[in-house]
């Protein structure tokens, strides 16, 4: 089975719906399996102390409305690429259910919101989970292993993505040596289905595929100089094409 490639458009569109559609089209033409966005209310999502740490103007401009979300879902359907989004509140989770997404995504920021995670599980749809905030034991909440058990895995059709919440993530900080993408090589919770990649370039994603990752999620843009906090670690269309080509050739070599 080939590794799935998710083009994380996220907020790189800057609120420009035509740019978002162009990104969807180019992601599809480059061979991505999924075009992914983020749905949030900045004033609910971020605390006041976060305002100075984030590009507030870019985040505000990139906020998608209900109608824009519907339009992007319809456009993805037209382009024959799966629409996916990380929702950061119950209202926007409801939007995704309303438009009939195939799967949900629990972002790293949301994994300790127990009620929200239960709401996602209650949709009875498969879901992906990024784990950027799970490192060892979190003394404020629960052990990493307890988090893993609470959110679930096979019984809830959950796919766990290894993730480092640094933008960008340095290659020396990736740390694949501590974890695995192959269940039968690991006797505890330290194995992942895929990799949510915040590094610059494709090296880490290619290594993850070679190690058995079944999902690669990586930010995607048309121009790294566009405004927004994620542009620096986003791949360009030519890089996405290269990643898909590597994925396909690796699968052929492995007889998949």
pLDDT tens for residues 175-184? Answer: 998 777 876 5
How crowded is residue 78: how many other Cβ atoms within 10 Å of its Cβ? 12
Nearest to 13 by CA among 46, 59, 53, 51: 59
Confidence of residue 191 (pLDDT cuts 50, 70, 90): confident
- pLDDT of 50 higher than 80: no
Report the pLDDT value the prediction gives residue 2, as an integer from 0 to 100. Answer: 94
Identify the top-confidence range among 30-39, 171-180, 191-200: 30-39
All domains of the chain in start order, with CATH? 4-253 (3.20.20.70)
Average pLDDT over residues 115-139: 82
Residue 54 makes CB contacts below 8 A (sequence gap 6+) with 46, 229
Nearest of 182, 185, 166 to residue 174 by alpha carbon: 166
| Per-residue pLDDT at 178 | 78
pTM of the full predicted structure? 0.92
pLDDT tens digit sequence for 135-149: 544 444 556 667 767
Q: How many CB atoms lie within 10 A of CB 94?
A: 14
pLDDT at 203: 98
């Amino acid at each position: 089975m080939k590794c799935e490639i998710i083009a994380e458009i996220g907020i790189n569109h800057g609120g420009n719906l035509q740019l978002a559609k162009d990104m969807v089209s180019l992601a599809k033409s480059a061979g991505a399996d999924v075009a992914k966005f983020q749905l949030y209310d900045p004033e609910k999502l971020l605390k006041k102390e976060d305002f100075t740490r984030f590009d507030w103007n870019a985040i505000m401009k990139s906020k998608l409305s209900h109608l824009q979300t519907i339009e992007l879902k319809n456009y993805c359907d037209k382009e024959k690429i799966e629409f996916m989004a990380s929702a950061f509140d119950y209202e926007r989770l409801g939007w995704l259910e309303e438009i009939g997404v195939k799967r949900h995504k629990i972002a790293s920021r949301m994994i300790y919101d127990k009620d929200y995670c239960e709401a996602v599980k209650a949709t009875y749809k498969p879901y992906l989970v990024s784990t950027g905030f799970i490192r060892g034991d979190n003394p404020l909440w629960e052990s990493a292993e307890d988090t893993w058990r609470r959110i679930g895995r096979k019984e809830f059709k959950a796919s766990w993505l290894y993730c480092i919440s640094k933008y960008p993530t340095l290659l020396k900080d990736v740390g694949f040596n501590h974890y695995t993408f192959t269940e039968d090589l690991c006797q505890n919770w330290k194995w992942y289905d895929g990799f949510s990649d915040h590094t610059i370039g494709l090296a880490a994603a290619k290594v993850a595929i070679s190690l058995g990752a079944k999902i690669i999620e990586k930010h995607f843009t048309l121009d790294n100089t566009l405004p927004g906090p994620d542009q620096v670690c986003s791949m360009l269309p030519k890089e996405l094409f290269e990643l898909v080509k590597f994925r396909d050739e690796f699968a052929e070599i492995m007889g998949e």
